[in-house]
Chains A and B, each alone.
Chain A
Amino acid sequence: MPTEVKESRNVKTGTQAVKRGLPQMLKGGVIMDVVNAEQAKIAEAAGAVAVMALERVPADIRAEGGVSRMSDPALVAAIVESVSIPVMAKCRIGHFVEAQILETLGVDCIDESEVLTPADEEYHVDKSKFTIPFVCGARNLGEALRRIGEGAAMMRTKGEAGTGDVVEAVRHARAILGAIKRLTIMPDEELMTYAKEIGAPYELVKKVKEEGKLPVVNFAAGGIATPADAALLMQMGVDGVFVGSGIFKSGNPQKRAEAIVKATTYFNNPEILAEVSKNLGEPMVGLTVKSLGPNETLAQRGW
C-alpha cells in the first residue's frame, strides 16, 4: 500500500518546471556577489533574494589579473550554511566538473560565467544534465537562446562586470528585449532564416515569437552600481538585477545594498528612488568601458 501511494505521486526532481521555477521566485529582487559567509550575511540582512559566491569580485579580478576559478568549496559550503536565501555560485565556462562540485555542495543555482576565465573556448556546459538550474550571460537574443537550448533555466545580460559602468548592461538588455519585440511581428516564413542568422534553435525562436518573451527569467547584470542603475534596467523590462562589485567595493556596502533592493521593488516610483539614493557614501570606483582595451572586456568570453 505505501508503495502504491508513492508511485501515484510520481515525485520528480530537476524537471524543467522545477529548474525554471526557482528563478521565477527571485523576480523583482537583487542577487549580490559575495566572497565569504560574512558578506553573505550582510547581503541577506539587506534584503538580497540570493547571493552569488565567487572567488573574487569582478573589480578585483580586473585589477589583479591571473586565472579566475570557482571558489574554494570550503568557502562555498560556509556560505550555504550561513544564509537561508538561495546560494548561487560561479563556474568557468565549459567547466562541467566545477559545476558537478558546486551541485554536490548544495548550491541552489550555478552561474556559468564569463567573469571567470573560460575553461573551454568551444563548448559550454551541457546544463540539461544537472538537477539544479543554471544562469548564463548573453549579449543578444541568439546567445540567450543558445544557452537556453543547452538547458539554462535563467538568463542575465553580460554587461561589463567589475566596471561600475552600466552602459553595456543597457546595451545588452536593449538588444535582447528589442529583438524579442521585433520577433513578435516577424512573418512566420522568416523565422528559419532569422534563426540561422542569429544562431539560435528554431523551436526556441518560434516559442519566443508566440509568447513575446524568453521562456526563462531574464535579469540584468554587469556594471550596476546605484539604485538608479537598478531601476533603469527594471523600467526597461528585465525581471531583476545582479549586483557584483557595486556593493562590496563601495563605501557603505550594507546601506547601498538596502537601497538597491528598495529601488528594484519601487523601480517606477521616482520619489522613493530619490529617497533611497540619498547619502549612500562613496560608490565603487568606476572604470568606463570605453577605456578598456579590446582584450580587456569580459563580455566577449563565451559565444
Chain B
Amino acid sequence: MPHMQESLLIGVLALQGAFIEHRQAVERLGARSLEIRFKEQLQHIDGLIIPGGESTCIDKLSREIAGELYSEITKLGASGKLPIYGTCMGTIFLAKEIEGANQTRLNLMDITVKRNAYGPQKASFEADLDISAISMNASEDSHPFPGIFLRAPSIVHAKENVQVLAEFDGLPVMARQNNLFVTTFHPEVTDDLRIHKYFLDQVCTSKNANEMASVTTFQYEVSTSKS
C-alpha cells in the first residue's frame, strides 16, 4: 500500500534523544515527519514515534514544560486513535509498570519494564533477531534483523492482550497492543528500514482501519494474498 504510506505524517517526540534518525527512517520510506514539542502539533499526525533517550530527562521536561503534551498523548493513545511506536526509552514511557521507579509514564501498555536491564554500556550489544512479522511479505526480507541494544530496558512481563513479536533471551523485545508498538532495540541507528515499514504499514494503517473498516479490510486482503 505505498500510496497510503506516502500520505502519512509521522510525529517524532523531539524533547531529547535520537529523534532525527527516526525522521530520516520514515522519510526514506516515503512518509513525512514532524518534530513534536508542543501538544498542538499532535493534531494532524497519523502516528507518533517516541525515540530513545534518557527517561529521567524527559520525565523532568514532561512535568515542568511539556505536561499537557503528555496528557494529550495519553488521551490519544488510550482512545486507540493514535498509533504510537516507542523505541527503548519509548518502551519505558508506554509501559504501565516500571520496576523500581516511580517516574512519569504514559501508562498505556500492559507491560512491566526494567530499566538498564542488561547493565552498563560495556554490556550493550547487537544481536541478530528473527522477526517473522517483518519477514512475511517477501523472501528478501527474511534475513535476521540487526537488533542494537543500548543500555536497553527489558520487558519483564506482558499481559495476554500484548502480542509478542520478537524475543531475546526468553524476554519480549518487540511487542504490540493494538495501536501501541514497542521495540527495546534501536532500528533507527541501522540502515534496515523493516521495523519502521512495519509501523507505517501495519500499525499506522490499522488506525485507518478503525475509521474506514470496509475499505481497509479489502486492502488487507489484497496485501495478504500477495504473501
Q: Point out residues on A near B: beta carbons under 8 Å.
A: 8-15, 17-18, 20-22, 24-29, 44-50, 80, 84-87, 103, 106-109, 131-133, 258, 261-262, 264-266, 272
Contact = CB atoms under 8 A, between A and B. Distances in A.
Interface string B119-135: 11111111111100000
A228 B143 CA distance: 48
A107 B61 contact: no
Given A47-B61, A266-B65, A108 B52 contact: no
A262 B58 CA distance: 10
Given A106-B120, A107-B120, A21 B189 contact: yes
Given A84-B115, A132-B122, A10 B127 contact: yes
Interface residues of B, number: 46
Given A9-B168, A86-B151, A25 B54 contact: yes
Given A84-B115, A84-B116, A18 B124 contact: yes
A24 B25 CA distance: 15
24 contacts: A10-B128, A10-B144, A12-B126, A18-B148, A18-B150, A21-B186, A22-B121, A24-B52, A25-B18, A25-B151, A26-B53, A26-B54, A28-B19, A28-B53, A29-B17, A48-B57, A49-B54, A80-B120, A84-B116, A86-B151, A106-B120, A108-B121, A261-B61, A266-B65
Interface majority SS (helix, strand, loop, mixed), chain A: mixed
B57 A29 contact: yes
A133 B121 contact: yes
A12 B130 CA distance: 16
B37 interface: yes
Contacts of A44: 56
Contacts of A49: 16, 53-54, 57
Contact of A8 (B37, B65, B128): B128
B132 to A, nearest CB: 14
B15 A265 contact: yes
A264 to B, nearest CB: 8
A9 B149 CA distance: 13
Interface of B: 14-21, 37, 52-54, 56-57, 59-61, 64-65, 88-89, 101, 115-116, 119-130, 144, 146, 148-151, 168, 186, 189-190
The 5 closest A-B pairs by CB, nearest first: A47-B60, A108-B121, A28-B16, A49-B54, A47-B57
A13 B149 CA distance: 10
A46 B52 CA distance: 19
Contact of A25 (B53, B101, B120): B53
Given A12-B126, A21-B189, A27 B121 contact: no
